[in-house]
Amino acid sequence: MGKFQFEVGLLEAPITVAEYGHDYLPREGLHATGIYTDAFLTGESGRRYQGVRVFDDAVVGQTQHGSFIGLVPGDTSGPAPELWTASMMQPYEYHETDHEVRFSGDEWEVVIQPGHWTWVDGGGRWRLEVENLGERGYYFWVPVQEGFPLSQYHRGEMGRCTGEVDGDPVCGCTYLDYSWGPKGAKFIDLPLMRKMNRAWLLWYAAFEDGGYITGAAREGREGVDWSMAYVVDSGEARIHSPTATDVSYDDRGIVQRAVLDTGVEKIVFEQDCSSFWPIHTNGRVAEVSGRAPVTDSWIEIEWMPDNADAMFDAYDEGKDIFAAGNIKVDGQQVVIQGVNS
């Protein structure tokens, strides 16, 4: 494979209502391949939660899945327990006005306006109000090239939120991502998942002096020279590329600690629990170089194993690879029962 070609940057302007819309295409020849909402939360009770709702990822016009879990601090041995069983592979209703776009199903609704969105799920058990941070989101673009037969355009924003989960007042960190690729392609077939992504870090940290830093960072797999970080520092957005991420693991290959070096700051993440095990862990921002002490923080790290393609192939065949008993970790190999064991 020749030199990897990609483009990464800040969006030229804030995202408009139309650009949040179901039919918006950022470049000619692209089609929707996924809309992603995710939140990492802490309740007044001390409990921690995570929720995900995905649209258009496998079939355009359907929500692929929703997952809502209670994180268990100190436990990285398996998947976090579900709060409830969410709807899977359901058609959704879509409405667009001059002011907002609305995605909704039997038990959930996501309403997006520029700079702000709301998310109700589980028939009302999950309620969030989200403020997107930074005036502009970020994007990356991967053209067709040697070793990459499909193109991809991906856009993301970070946010902070308040709300309730099962009556427990919560606050936390969110992301809102959109992805586009060739017509007929699924998200897991696109360059990001199949070829590029080794690490994905999403975080928010509030400081003792009233400032905050949030962002999303990625690092490529071996042989793919790709790394970037989108950072919003107390409202000011910036892009860094290249970056470096140093990771340490436990004896099963689960991420325990990571240090992201953007070239401006070093951010230390300490992981203490699993969410969507084994490739997703959650924890806290321990420190940011040159900044005041951290008072509140949220972090999720997605760390792809060496044999990620086998994992995605099994997932594409309809196997529930994340179910307890179906998957185990062997160093940096994910062993899927009945697939590569």
What is the DSSP annotation of 195-212?
IIEEEEEEEEEEETTS-E
Cα–Cα distance measured from residue 323 to residue 1, given in angstroms and rounded to the nearest whole number: 35
DSSP conformation letters of 54-105: EESSSSTTEEEEEEEEEE-TT--SSPPPBSSPPPEEEE-EEEE-SS-EEEE-
What pLDDT is recorded for position 241?
Answer: 97
Pick from 62-71, 72-81, 277-286, 321-330: least confident: 321-330
Say which residue, 141 or 64, is predicted with more confidence.
141
Residue showing tokens 């899945």 = 65
Q: What is the pLDDT of residue 317?
A: 79
Is the pLDDT at 309 greater than 90? The verdict is no
Residue 193 CA, distance from chain mean position: 12
Whether the predicted pLDDT of 324 surpasses 60:
no
231, 207, 228: which is closest to 286 by C-alpha? 207
Distance from C-alpha of 322 to C-alpha of 311, rounded to nearest angstrom: 10
pLDDT above 80 (res 225): yes
Averaged over 228-239, what is the pLDDT? 98
Q: What is the pLDDT of residue 295?
A: 98
pLDDT on residue 136: 92
- CA neighbours within 13 Å on the CB side: how many for 142? 29
Q: What pLDDT score was predicted for residue 304?
A: 84
> Which residue's entry shows tokens 């327990």?
81
Q: For position 49, what pLDDT does the model report?
A: 98
The pLDDT value given to residue 323: 62
CA distance 101 to 22: 8
Q: With bands split at pLDDT 50, 70 and 90, how would you rate the model's confidence at 313?
A: confident
- In the chain, domain spans: 7-304, 305-341
In this structure, of 175-184, 316-325, 332-341, the range with the lowest mean pLDDT score is 332-341
Q: What confidence score (pLDDT) does residue 152 get?
A: 97
Query: What's the rounded mean pLDDT across residues 51-56?
Result: 93
| Rounded mean pLDDT, 300-312 | 82
239-290 confidence digits (pLDDT tens): 999 999 999 988 777 899 999 999 999 999 999 999 987 789 999 999 999 9
Amino acid (1-letter code) at residue 145: Q
| pLDDT (0 to 100) of residue 87 | 75
According to the model, what pLDDT value does residue 252 have?
76
Residue 12, Cα to own-chain centre: how many angstroms?
22
Of all residues in the chain, the percent with pLDDT exceeding 90 is 71
**Residue closest to 140 by CA, chosen among 77, 74, 192:** 192
Confidence label for 30 from pLDDT (cuts 50, 70 and 90): very high
Structure confidence at residue 180 (pLDDT): 97
107-124: average pLDDT: 96
Question: Is pLDDT at 81 greater than 70 in this prediction?
Answer: yes
How many Å apart are CA 105 and CA 120, to the nearest integer?
A: 10
pLDDT at 315 over 70: yes
Distance CA 124, CA 252 (A): 38
**20-24, 77-81, 122-126, range with the lowest pLDDT:** 77-81
- The tens digit of pLDDT for each residue in 142-184 reads 999 998 999 999 999 999 999 999 999 999 999 999 999 999 8
**Three-class secondary structure of residue 189 per DSSP:** helix
Please compute the mean of the pLDDT values over residues 15-33 and round it to a whole number. Answer: 94
Q: Which of 37, 44, 48 is nearest to 275 (CA)?
A: 48
Please, what is the average pLDDT of the chain? 91
Longest dimension (CA), the chain: 54
